Amino acid sequence: MVSPMCQYSAIDGVANDWHLVHLGSRAVGGAGLIIAEACAVAPEGRITPNDLGLWKEEQIPALKRITDFIKEQGSVAGIQLAHAGRKASFPKPWVGAELLSEDQGGWEPVAPSAKPFNDKYALPHELTTVEIMQLINQFAEAGSRAYQAGFQLIELHAAHGYLINEFLSPLSNHRTDDWGGSFENRCRFLIEIVKAVKKSWPDNLPIFVRISATEWVDGGWSISDSIALSKELKTLGIDLIDCSSGGNAANAKIALTPGYQVSLAKAVRDGAAIATGAVGLITNAIQAQTILEQGEADLIFLGRKLLRDPYFPLHAAKELGVNLVLPGQYQRAAF
Ligand SMILES: Cc1cc2nc3c(=O)[nH]c(=O)nc-3n(C[C@H](O)[C@H](O)[C@H](O)COP(=O)(O)O)c2cc1C
């Protein structure tokens, strides 16, 4: 399946031809499930001014056109609901890497605590309880709009140092109220979002949660925290934990070896008895198939490999001896 990947190409959060061609190409290429990029539930929850959004009705029709196309190709259309928290207000990466000022179209980011990610990032506004409640509601409303836009699956983005992850981690959450301190309090924001989104999303359609299963830093969020959280998420009806890592601690050292996060997916799968997704430097068919056959994960999320080669699922099917049917228009090119 296609791992969510920001395209930083929307205007006012609205999808356009780029998103149709980008996501549509992966559907034509044979991906079984396509999760569209981090989609902001509020304007200030964007990483850049060009992120996708679902904070208003006007953003629905352009996404509906895309989900219709994905489904016509026999693929499943999913979307990641996100809030960038203290990592917001940057330009698209190929344009620059400096925080945007308000004059440049930037805004004041928000976070559980008034602590920046590092000295290149903004000092965030510490959310009040009322603002936290509003955000939970915004996730639920975005979930309802995602359904109206034709999506069949939601992934909640609780990884990579964005807002939900900032609440989970003791390194970024220094609150002393009900939303910080103990493990239970730090998990509350995500748990309340899950409960709210469940109410705005059909019972028969899946919800995934992407977590940073470890922060790779002593004293930070750990794999045992992830297992405990995943057990709770399972009781709330979450269908799969997508096991990524890192992104919340600027000093983390991560060894980027092939399949470097697969062991995290296995640990959560074994420890919490819930389906998991493996992601990160999975780049060939045998590697992906072996992860599934060895019971390390239930789904393979592919990111950059599918940017380089949207037809990778077709090539992988051939290599594995599976008969994946090409779209009618392309059948004269069948292997
Ligand atoms: C261009 C790009 C944009 C990304 N945007 C997101 C995103 O919107 N949400 C997310 O959870 N991860 C995002 N990621 C991370 C990927 O989903 C994936 O976890 C990561 O690239 C590792 O997988 P890979 O080695 O197969 O690329 C992004 C990665 C890339 C390369």
Query: Residue 32 falls within a domain, yes or no?
Result: yes
Q: What is the pLDDT of residues 266-286, one digit of tens each?
A: 999 999 999 999 999 999 999
Nearest atom in ligand 1 to the alpha carbon of residue 37 is 8
Look at residue 128 and tell me if it is in a domain: yes
What is the total count of domains within the chain? 1
Q: How far is the CA of 280 from the centre of ligand 1 (A)?
A: 8
- Please give the residue range of the domain that contains residue 311: 17-333
Distance 178 CA to ligand 1 centre (A): 32
Residue 2 forms part of a structural domain: no
Q: How far is CA 287 from CA 90, 97, 151, 305, 307, in A?
A: 35, 34, 29, 13, 18
Tell me which residue has tokens 């008895």: 273
Return the residue whose CA atom lies nearest to atom 15 of ligand 1. 5
Give the ligand 1 atom nearest the CA of 279: 23
Which one, of 55, 79, 206, lies nearest residue 141 by Cα? 55
The torsion angles phi and psi of 244, rounded to 5 degrees, stand at: -100, -165
5 falls within a domain: no
Q: Write the CB contacts of 263 (distance below 8 Å, at least 6 apart in sequence).
A: 296
How many Å lie between the centroid of ligand 1 and the Cα of residue 148? 25
Q: Is residue 12 assigned to a domain?
A: no
d(CA 129, ligand 1 centre) in Å: 31
| CA distance linking residue 322 with residue 327, whole number of Å | 16
Residues with CB under 6 A from ligand 1: 3-6, 37-38, 80, 157, 159-160, 210, 244, 279-282, 302-305
Q: Has residue 10 been placed in a domain?
A: no
Give the position, in ligand 1's atom list, of the atom nearest the Cα of 210: 11
Mean pLDDT, 10 residues at a time, over the chain (335 residues)? 98 98 98 98 98 98 98 98 98 97 97 98 98 98 98 98 98 98 98 98 98 97 98 98 98 96 98 98 98 98 98 96 91 86
Mutate to test the pocket of ligand 1, among 1, 2, 3, 35 (most ligand atoms within 8 A of CB): 3
**Please, is 136 exposed, middle or buried when counting C-beta atoms within 10 Å of its C-beta (0-12, 13-18, 19+)?**
buried
Cβ-defined contacts of 100-106 (< 8 Å, 24+): 100/49, 105/49, 106/49
Each residue's pLDDT tens digit, 109-154: 999 999 999 999 999 999 999 999 999 999 999 999 999 999 999 9
Give me the count of residues in the chain: 335
Q: Which of 121, 147, 162, 311 is catalytic?
A: 162
Protein residue whose Cα sits closest to atom 13 of ligand 1: 5
The yes-or-no answer on residue 260 being catalytic is no
**CATH (domain of 308):** 3.20.20.70
> What separation in Å is there between the alpha carbon of 322 and the centre of ligand 1?
27
Is 3 within the bounds of a domain?
A: no
| pLDDT value at residue 320 | 96
Residue 9 lies in a domain: no
State the pLDDT at residue 325. Answer: 85
CA distance 95 to 93: 5
pLDDT at residue 330, as a whole number: 93
